[in-house]
Amino acid sequence: MEYFIQWGTMTLQDAVDFCVLMIQTTSAIQRFSDGIIADPGDMPGVGGPVDAAVITPDKGFVWVARKKLSVGGNEINLDKEANL
């Protein structure tokens, strides 16, 4: 089965949802797999929280979802505004 996706009429929100779905689907498939045909026994390459961003002509690069980074309980803030 192959689906026909209307890329040209997809809203930005639908595009974000679709991308996150594809990442989550890949993660779920890797959970039940034992590598790929070309490399059996290989380890999964994705998992955990999903980071997502959009790039638009007027706003440029904008994070939609971004996991927090931390070391030893100390959170690291990589936002430009926080480093000014």
The whole-angstrom separation of Cα 2 and Cα 15 is 19
Whether residue 59 is predicted with pLDDT greater than 60 in this model: the reply is yes
Between vectors from CA 20 to CA 14 and to CA 26, what angle results, nearest 5°? Answer: 135
Q: Of the ranges 25-29, 38-42, 47-51, which one carries the lowest mean pLDDT score?
A: 38-42
In the chain, domain spans: 9-83
The whole-angstrom separation of Cα 54 and Cα 35 is 30
Of the chain, the percentage scoring pLDDT greater than 90 comes to: 46
